[in-house]
Structure 1
């Protein structure tokens, strides 16, 4: 299990590293941070190293634990999160629990309580070993659903939040997932669809005016459409119209 620790007190960070190593030699602390901002800036990198667990304080400078937790959950990450807090901070803890925190521990930390939480997390990780394959299938399905949705609605305004709702994912996470799987951004994929459809319309329906073609494929500024078309195709829509192009005869 790989963990990161976020607390503005040096003695607590160092103490937790020692406690974790004694409680479970299989736990590797791959990052320690004194505030939420520093932790957030390295979060994606640590996820790439297989991060499983975040242990974070509530009250910290620059970015508190609540905001850090919200940021993490907005990425779609399923890492477990344990919150550390003082008794007087329980209102903050309630907010954290609503954000999908695994558990909270009051300071000073009781080793037996921490050990119990760690054991539960470890059992969950072991029981979900086939999960990566299921996750990959879900992610592939989400990307294909985005492609199909855009093919059906390329003429409508682009709304990332609506796409994200359709596939049940956070918008930022979906954007990164799509780029990783297709080597294209969602916007670039939509542009490609629109230009290909514009080429079809220009070839098959030459009576259409350029501004009409632009509107049909989702562009209400014909000047922008002309510039984009030339950038993508190499010629203007006017020059393209009426010519014979491979694959469009």
Structure 2
């Protein structure tokens, strides 16, 4: 049996979802139906819920904030987000909060059943474990902000972990970024070849943490040397970057030891390809703000507006080189890359098909160099789009110029399309998109403007002669078209212009 709680500020939705869950399987029990995140926070622990399904948009505190708060408190409850928005940014933020699933409204019955079955399996596995699971306590110490955990809970976890010789003695952390992702069994097999006491965790998001015991006689560089050995023991199909932290002892040092190794792994990911292992080195805080990159974004934007696409490409290459030096956190890097790509979008006229490009996640790449190549391709694709649109704009301008010169001739769409090497249908669509009017309407406006000019400047011409010189061979049709465009007949217009 699993216990489920539902949070949604709309009563009809939360009660309806609760009924669906209980009808799905007698093994699913709804133990809480709450109207706000605040209520959920105050009542979740006493409810004993295994799964929390929460709406993403609620007043005061939304579902993502609720998930983040629960994780910061060390809660291990499984969380699913319920949303009416099929939006990548929402889904990405939900994944960062470690949610189990992201369900769209209206809830699909089969998707809900799969979620419940998956959580039921995980809960059953967790309940079948021994009461003391070092990995679970270690995960708690690493994933939660210790300042947010009640002191007695944190101290109890430290005391239990201190019972392990591995943690009571000297240890160091390794954090691995491995692609394809490494499962727990593969990691344990590789770690066993180091012939050291160890604890392995595959963390949410795919990162891997390995706690390694150290011995008397080991030196300051032992952890890094063991990391190099471990690298050679991984399957040949995998690519890895490894960071090692400092030497610590006791449960109270686990959080700091892990953060150091995580920072070192981050540096290893940014390092040149031949340097897959990095040891933690205390240093001034690296630039977390992408402000230094904005000057290159501004240069690229200015170059695009000036039509200098080569200059824009050079500015974006400099952006990539500068980003590699800054070694920003991945979340900051993605946002900065999106800002750079948006600079190219400003070079496009507002058209429905000009959607912002999808930004790949750094964690999907084994190293910075590979990620930088992907960004470079995205930037180049953006520049190609600008270039293509500029070419299309020139085609429209060519057609407009032709119509101004040949307004008295019969309109021939095929001839116009041949002039700019496009198909008639595509030219018609492009012209309407660029100018907001059809080619026919534009040609009529050119003819009417020419007729108005002749009526003002050539009083000796008869009205039908003005029509003929403007491209209208039928006097009656000319009068009708002129009045429709100006509200006056040609004669009335001429009389008013005197």
TM-score range, shorter chain: 0.5 to 0.7
**Equivalence for 1:32:** 33
- After superposing the two structures, state which structure 1 stretch, 53-62 or 27-36, moved more: 27-36
Corresponding residue SS for 1:131 = coil
**Equivalence for 1:92:** 90
Corresponding residue SS for 1:28 = strand
Corresponding residue SS for 2:149 = helix
Aligned partner (choices 160, 170, 174) of residue 145 of structure 2: 170
Q: Return closer, same or farther for 1:137/1:86 CA change in 2, 3 Å cut-off.
A: closer
List gaps (5 residues or longer) in structure 1: 143-163, 183-249
CA distance in 1, matches of 2:152, 2:64: 24
Q: Return closer, same or farther for 1:180/1:28 CA change in 2, 3 Å cut-off.
A: farther
Q: Given that residues 50 and 78 in structure 2 are in contact (C-alpha distance below 8 angstroms), is that contact kept between their aligned partners in structure 1?
A: yes
Q: CA deviation at 1:35?
A: 1.5
Residue by residue over 1:166-217, the C-alpha shift from the partner in whole angstroms, topping out at 9 and shown as x without a partner, is: x5353132624147789xxxxxxxxxxxxxxxxxxxxxxxxxxxxxxxxxxx
Q: CA deviation at 1:101?
A: 0.2
**Equivalence for 1:58:** 56
Residue by residue over 1:5-41, the C-alpha shift from the partner in whole angstroms, topping out at 9 and shown as x without a partner, is: 0011111111111100111211111111111122112
Corresponding residue SS for 1:96 = helix
Alignment of 1:134 with 2:132, yes or no, is yes
**Equivalence for 2:199:** none
Corresponding residue SS for 2:45 = helix
Aligned length: 155
Q: Return closer, same or farther for 1:131/1:85 CA change in 2, 3 Å cut-off.
A: same
**Equivalence for 2:3:** 2
The 4+ residue runs of structure 1 with deviation greater than 6 A are 179-182
**Equivalence for 2:425:** none
CA distance in 2, matches of 1:68, 1:8: 13
Q: Which has the larger radius of gyration?
A: 2
Residue by residue over 1:55-112, the C-alpha shift from the partner in whole angstroms, topping out at 9 and shown as x without a partner, is: 0000001211111001111111211111100135542232111110000110001101
**Equivalence for 1:78:** 76
CA distance in 1, matches of 2:99, 2:79: 5
Corresponding residue SS for 2:132 = helix
Q: Given that residues 85 and 93 in structure 1 are in contact (C-alpha distance below 8 angstroms), is that contact kept between their aligned partners in structure 2?
A: no
Q: Return closer, same or farther for 1:28/1:132 CA change in 2, 3 Å cut-off.
A: farther
**Equivalence for 1:111:** 109
CA distance in 1, matches of 2:44, 2:22: 21
CA distance in 2, matches of 1:90, 1:11: 27
CA distance in 2, matches of 1:132, 1:173: 23
Q: Calculate the TM-score normalised by the size of structure 2.
A: 0.29
**Equivalence for 1:216:** none
Q: Given that residues 56 and 65 in structure 1 are in contact (C-alpha distance below 8 angstroms), is that contact kept between their aligned partners in structure 2?
A: yes
List gaps (5 residues or longer) in structure 2: 159-498
CA distance in 2, matches of 1:99, 1:133: 26
Q: Calculate the TM-score normalised by the size of structure 1.
A: 0.55
Residue by residue over 1:142-183, the C-alpha shift from the partner in whole angstroms, topping out at 9 and shown as x without a partner, is: 8xxxxxxxxxxxxxxxxxxxxx99x5353132624147789x
**Equivalence for 2:178:** none
**Equivalence for 1:101:** 99
Q: Return closer, same or farther for 1:132/1:85 CA change in 2, 3 Å cut-off.
A: farther
Q: Given that residues 13 and 32 in structure 1 are in contact (C-alpha distance below 8 angstroms), is that contact kept between their aligned partners in structure 2?
A: yes
Q: Given that residues 86 and 104 in structure 2 are in contact (C-alpha distance below 8 angstroms), is that contact kept between their aligned partners in structure 1?
A: no
Question: What RMSD, in angstroms, separates the aligned Cα atoms of the two structures?
Answer: 2.7
**Equivalence for 1:196:** none
CA distance in 2, matches of 1:43, 1:97: 21
